[in-house]
Every structure is written in C-alpha cells, then in structure tokens.
Structure 1
Amino acid sequence: MLKLFSPIPPRCSFVGPTVTLRPPRRADLRHWIDIRSKSKTFLEPWEPAWSRDALTPGAYRRRVRRVAQEWRQGTSFGFFIWENGGGTLVGGITLTNVRHGVVESGSIGYWVGEPFIRRGYGGEAVQIILDFAFRKLNLHRVEAACLVDNHASRTLLIKAGFQAEGRARKYLCINGRWQDHDTFGILRTDDRPMVPVQDG
C-alpha cells in the first residue's frame, strides 16, 4: 500500500512500456545536473526563470527537500521520468495543486530533456501520471496549461485525452515574463488512451 504522506517521498515507482516514474532521490543529483545542463537553452523559453544557482548541488538538494515536504502534505507529487532499461533520466513531471473535498483536482506540469524529445516519453509520462491521479488519489479532474505557441505541448495534451478549455491571460511568469496560456482539462470519466502501468 502506497503511503502518500510519509516524511520522505516513498520509494515507489510506476512503470510503463518505455518509461518509469519515481520520486527524485538525492542520489539522482548527477543525472539531474547532466540532463538539465544539456537542455538549458532548449528549456528556458518554456519554464520559470532559472536562478543563478539552478544547476548546483545545493539547488538540487533544496528541490528534493521541497518534493519530500509536498508529498508529506499531499499537495504535490513530483516524479522523475526514467528511460526503461538504460537508467537514463529523460525529464520530470509533477502533479501539483492537489485539492480534495468538493474539487478533487490537480494540475500537471512536465519537461523532457532536449536529447529525448519526439520519442513519446512525455506523452507516456502524462498517461502514467493520469493513472496515478485517478486511480491512486481518486481525483475527479486534472488540468494543464501551455504557452500559446507551444504547439508540441498542445499536441501532447490533446493526444492524452485533454480537452482545450480556453485561454488564461498572463497566467504564469515564464522566462521572466507573465504570459498567456491555453488551458486544458480531463475528467476521470473522459475517454483517454491507456498504457499498462505496473506499480513498483
């Protein structure tokens, strides 16, 4: 049984056909710095502004502690995306803003390192985290948003079963600027492509 509110992210994993999702560990430092360094120029236009120490061990340790705290609080669930078989870190995905009661919803955000784009890893990771959200957390709805000119992300979300719901003005501060985003949503009862997921 998965203990969602333990003091540290549980040593769990969710295994799909080509990628595995699991919470970050301190031992993943080298992998994280490597892929983020290689992908810095590619990722910066789509992410909040990187801090000056973004690629340092100290920044990574703070990230792991924050993920652990959020797992403990049950408000956010961060995962790294690993390529099956090779033990290669290819990206990250997070279910954030998890709320219960009359809402039962959360939001997802994700990134894939530049060397691994267009291989289907991001789409599979989204399907796995939707399985986690609906099956493990019993959420009713999951939301996502992407920059209006991020056509790759829009396509990924639509293929995963999300429906376009509108445009949010100046929704998030990305790369140092408040920018408009297109918003998407999917319900637990909506049709969506499924991948087989094994709990590790």
Structure 2
Amino acid sequence: MSSEIIIRSLSVNDIQPLLDFEIRNRAYLDETSPDKPEEFYTIAGQELRIERVLVSKMHDLGYSYGVFKGKELIGTVDLFQVERGAIQSAWLGYCIDYKYQGCGYATEAVKRMIDFAFYDLRLHRVEASAMPRNEASIRVLEKAGFHREGLSQKNVKIQGEWEDHYLYAVINTDPEI
C-alpha cells in the first residue's frame, strides 16, 4: 500500500483539525451524509464527538480513524455498530476532503480499515451503504472488495429527504474466524 497517507486513531489532539475539516467540506459532505445539528460544527461539538469515539473504542463498539496526508487531516474512516457473538460484524463509514477526491485515498483508507476489522478485531463481516447517485463512493467500495447485496429504500434522511442506499458487504474468508 502507498505510504502517502497515514491512518491513526482520533484523539483529543484532533478536535481543531476535525472542526476545520468538517467546516471546509460541509457543503460537499452534506450532499450525501446524514443531517447534523449546528452544534456539530463547533469546538464543543467536536469535543463531544471525540468523547464518544473514545468511549466507543473502550467498549469495542466503534473505531474512528483520521486519514492524514503529512500532518493534514484529509478524511476519516470509521467502524461503528460493532457486534460480537454470533454476528461478528460492523458498519463502515468514510469521507475524504473534496480537494483529494480521485486520488485513491478513500479506497486505501477503506482497505486498511477492512484489514484492521478482519485481522485485528477478528470480525466476519463489514457492511457499508452508498446512495445510488454517489458513484464515487460505489467505486471505492467495489475497489475495496465489497459486493452489492441490495437496496435499502428510503432509509437515511439527507437534507430533509429520505434517501435510498445500496447495501454493500465484504466477508472475511479466514476459516479461523
């Protein structure tokens, strides 16, 4: 894999870079992301985000990573709703700064997170979703080895409208899992 990007756990040191990233990319990300309250775009909102990230990690419920190019935060990649027991799965989310679209960073970050999910967390399945009109996100998922399983109709509210999403998944083929 390319060494152009670094992926590491988010921490309290990332509050200001996260806020800057979210504000800089707000118009772009709002087109395909669930609605967020105004407080999300404040220092207090990002402090709360990091607090939730740390609690989720501590309880093995979720893992949030920053995607960095040099010292610049250019995106995030997350595993959330981690389920153990007979399920052994999680959901994946990701976003990359609009300035870095088409450079392969999202695909690389997703592939690394899948490796983490399968080899470190020992998960069996990772799921993700993408709006049918979000062709770039669909390409990322397919390049990272996901396969389309179906359509979830009107399942996420984005800009006040319930939007359809394709459901994607990738399965860990390691027989030890």
Counterpart residue number, 2:98: 114
Counterpart residue number, 1:77: 63
CA distance in 1, matches of 2:2, 2:112: 7
**TM-score of the pair, normalised by structure 2:** 0.93
Moved over 4 A (4+): none
Q: How big is the shift at 1:16?
A: 5.6
Deviations 1:88-116 (Å, cap 9, x if unpaired)?
10011110111111111111011111111
CA contact (8 A) 1:16 1:128 kept: no
AA matched with 1:29 = I
Q: Which runs of 5+ in 2 are unaligned?
A: none
Work out the percentage of aligned pairs sharing the same amino acid: 30
AA matched with 2:121 = L
Say which is worse superposed, 31-40 or 65-74, in terms of deviation.
31-40
Residue 128 of structure 1 pairs with residue 109 of structure 2: no
Q: How big is the shift at 1:51?
A: 1.3
The one of 187, 191, 198 aligned to 2:171: 187
Question: How many residue pairs end up in the alignment?
Answer: 174
Deviations 1:46-83 (Å, cap 9, x if unpaired)?
11112112221100100000001111111111111111
Bigger RCO of structures 1 and 2 (CA < 8 A, at least 6 apart)? 1
AA matched with 2:42 = T
Counterpart residue number, 1:5: none
CA distance in 2, matches of 1:138, 1:154: 25
Secondary structure at the aligned position of 2:41 is classed as coil
Counterpart residue number, 1:55: 41
Q: Which runs of 5+ in 1 are unaligned?
A: 1-14, 191-200
Give the number of the structure whose residues are more often helix, by fraction.
Answer: 2
Q: How big is the shift at 1:173?
A: 2.0
CA distance in 1, matches of 2:161, 2:85: 33
Matches for 1:173-184 after TM superposition, within 5 Å:
173-184=157-168
User: Pairwise CA RMSD of aligned residues?
Assistant: 1.5
Residue 45 of structure 1 pairs with residue 25 of structure 2: no
Counterpart residue number, 1:166: 150
Residue 157 of structure 1 pairs with residue 138 of structure 2: no
Matches for 1:79-98 after TM superposition, within 5 Å:
79-83=65-69, 86-98=70-82
AA matched with 2:25 = S
**TM-score of the pair, normalised by structure 1:** 0.82
CA contact (8 A) 1:171 1:181 kept: yes
